Amino acid sequence: MRHYEVMVILDPDVEERAVSPLIENFLNVVRTGGGNVEKVDTWGRRRLSYEINKKSEGIYSVIDLKAEPAVVKELDRQLNLSEQVLRTKVLRPDTH
C-alpha cells in the first residue's frame, strides 16, 4: 500500500452540493479495491491560471489516500473518462 495524493479539477458547471457525492462515487473504486481514503479536501471554486477546455474556473479537490498502485491507476482512468472532470493529477508525496 502506498500513500497517494490525487488532485481533481471539476467542471465549474457542477453544482456546489453535487460535488461531494460525485467524488464519493469515484472513491468507491478505492474502497472496494482494499484502499483507504484518508482525507478529502474540497477547496471549492477557483480561477484557473489558464483556460482548460475553454473554462476559466474549476472546482479543486485534493484527496489523500492509501491504496495499491493498480487501484489508483483505475481511479485515475475513471476520473479521466468523466465529462465533469477537467484535469487530474496523481502524486506520491513521499518520493519528493
Is there binding between residue 93 and another protein (CB under 8 A)?
yes
Out of 4, 19, 29, 58, point to the residue binding another protein (CB under 8 A). 58
Is there binding between residue 45 and another protein (CB under 8 A)?
no
Residue with cell string 471539476: 10
Is there binding between residue 54 and another protein (CB under 8 A)?
no
75 closest CA partner among 40, 20, 26: 26
Work out how close the CB of 2 gets to another protein at its nearest, in angstroms, rounded to a whole number.
16
Number of alpha carbons in the 13 Å side-chain half-sphere of residue 47 = 1
- Which is nearer to another protein, 32 or 50 (by Cβ)? 50
Out of 15, 32, 50, 54, point to the residue binding another protein (CB under 8 A). 50
The Cα 77–Cα 83 span in angstroms is 12
